[in-house]
Each structure stands twice: as structure tokens, then as C-alpha cells.
């Protein structure tokens, strides 16, 4: 599983994510110190939703078996491209897994809800898509994963992400264990269309046709840049996969 190089927009996302963290930290300190009686009060217990742990190893297989394909869409939601991808998937009768960046989900809750309403699954792609996650402290990794989980769940209206995909594949044993303990199966990919590099529609289609035998999980993006090539490539790839006898499912959990 190749690691993606960092892309310019992710620097802006990281700054936004760190801003969210700073505000949260400041709020936490203020809450701990504030007390109208002059005496520090104990914090109220935090309600934690019931979650079922899942396997910690990185999933690549499809729940549809040997002839299943998992379409995965990363980095959104985006107000320009996500609706186009959703319409194409609906027209094709295909369900996909959307790996969402926390700040994007927070900014576009209507699109998160639209993804859920169409029967697709949610995946946690961290707060700010930092591709150097595997070089950062466990505290930082925890913040990125847990804050994104909260952002996505809130934006969706209460539907939790079922998977965790590290930005650029920057998994660590700690991040995998943390995600799995929260019911989010670590999610990899087998076929990288490299659509973020704008290789052209023909190149993306050829990549899928040549590499789908490597495994069922195919990586696309619906944000982080201009994605008309991605939409056009999906329009060709989905019917071709059906013609080859593949069916569409979700990554195993």
C-alpha cells in the first residue's frame, strides 16, 4: 500500500484542525477552572456510546467475497464534487465507502447526511488529513482520530464511521488499536487510481482494469482539488466492472 505524498490543501486542513484542537483545549481548561462558588467542582461523567471493538488489522477484502469490489471515496465531502459522485453512484446502483475529513464533514453536514441517506458507509479520515500521522505522538494521533469521529458522527446526525483510513496510509500500531477499539476497522486499499495527480481519465480507467486482480478496494477522491476526471473515470469504470462479473460491496469489518 503506497503512501500518498502530502498535497497543498492538506496544509490548510491541518491548520484548521489544529485550530479546532486549540479551541477544544482552551474550553476544557476554562471548564475545569470555572466555578461561581470559588470551589473547584468535580467534572460530570462523560457519556460514551456503546461501541463494539473490531479487528485491528488493515482491511482490504470485500464483504461480497472474491468477486466483490469496494469503491472508496476520500477527503470529502465537497460541495462541488460529492453531489456529482453521489448522483453517479445512485444512477449506477452502487454503494461506496466515504472516508471523510473531520473539518470537511463539520463544514458540510448536509452532504454527510446525503451520503448516509443513500446507503453508503462512513469512514474516519482524521481531522485534518496529516500524512505524517505515523511520525506524531500518540496524543496527537488520538486527537486526530477521536475528534474526527465526533465531527463526522455529529454531522451525520448520529451515524458513526465504521472504518478508519490513515491519511496516505500512515497507520501506526497505536492508531489501528485505537480505531478498532472505537468500532472503526482500519481500512487500506488495493488499487490506487492516483486521481489526485490528475493522470487523465484513460490512465485512471486503465489502472483499475489492470490492477483490480490485486484486490477489491479501489481508491478515489471527491475533494482536495478538481475532480472532474474522477467523475468521468467512475462513469466508465463502474459499468465495466459489472460487465466483468463483479459486484459492489463494503470492506469487511
Could you list the pLDDT tens digit for every one of the 253 residues in the chain? 445 544 455 555 554 454 444 433 333 322 222 333 333 333 333 344 568 999 999 999 999 999 999 999 999 999 999 999 999 999 999 999 999 999 999 999 999 999 999 999 999 999 999 999 999 999 999 999 999 999 999 999 999 999 999 999 999 999 999 999 999 999 999 999 999 999 999 999 999 999 999 999 999 999 999 999 999 999 999 999 999 999 999 999 9
**Which sequence positions are flagged as catalytic?**
74, 221
Q: Cβ distance 231 to 81 under 8 Å?
A: yes
Q: What is the C-alpha to C-alpha distance for residues 114 and 110, in angstroms, rounded to an integer?
A: 6
SS3 185: strand
Q: Cβ distance 184 to 124 under 8 Å?
A: yes
User: Structure pTM?
Assistant: 0.83
Nearest 5°: phi and psi at 79?
-65, -20
Q: What is the C-alpha to C-alpha distance for residues 169 and 95, in angstroms, rounded to an integer?
A: 23
Nearest to 114 by CA among 188, 222, 252: 222
Amino acid at each position: 500500500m503506497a503512501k500518498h505524498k502530502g498535497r497543498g490543501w492538506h496544509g490548510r486542513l491541518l491548520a484548521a484542525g489544529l485550530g479546532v484542537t486549540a479551541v477544544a483545549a482552551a474550553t476544557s481548561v476554562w471548564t475545569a477552572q470555572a466555578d461561581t462558588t470559588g470551589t473547584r467542582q468535580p467534572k460530570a461523567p462523560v457519556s460514551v456510546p456503546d461501541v463494539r471493538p473490531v479487528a485491528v488489522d488493515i482491511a482490504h477484502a470485500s464483504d461480497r467475497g472474491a468477486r466483490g469490489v469496494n469503491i472508496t471515496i476520500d477527503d470529502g465531502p465537497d460541495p462541488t464534487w460529492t453531489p456529482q459522485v453521489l448522483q453517479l453512484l445512485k444512477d449506477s446502483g452502487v454503494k461506496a465507502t466515504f472516508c471523510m475529513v473531520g473539518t470537511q464533514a463539520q463544514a458540510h453536514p448536509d452532504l454527510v447526511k446525503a451520503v448516509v441517506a443513500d446507503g453508503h458507509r462512513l469512514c474516519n479520515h482524521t481531522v485534518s488529513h496529516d500524512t505524517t500521522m505515523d511520525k506524531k505522538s500518540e496524543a496527537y494521533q488520538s486527537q486526530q482520530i477521536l475528534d474526527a469521529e465526533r465531527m463526522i458522527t455529529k454531522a451525520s446526525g448520529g451515524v458513526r464511521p465504521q472504518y478508519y483510513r490513515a491519511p496516505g496510509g500512515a497507520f501506526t500500531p497505536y492508531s489501528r488499536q485505537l480505531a478498532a477499539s472505537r468500532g472503526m476497522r482500519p481500512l487500506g486499499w488495493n488499487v490506487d487510481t492516483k486521481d489526485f495527480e490528475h493522470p487523465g481519465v484513460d490512465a485512471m480507467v486503465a489502472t483499475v482494469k489492470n490492477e483490480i486482480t490485486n484486490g477489491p478496494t479501489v481508491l478515489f477522491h471527491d475533494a482536495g482539488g478538481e475532480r472532474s476526471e474522477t467523475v468521468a473515470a467512475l462513469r466508465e469504470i463502474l459499468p465495466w466492472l459489472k460487465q466483468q462479473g463483479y459486484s459492489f460491496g463494503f470492506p469487511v469489518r
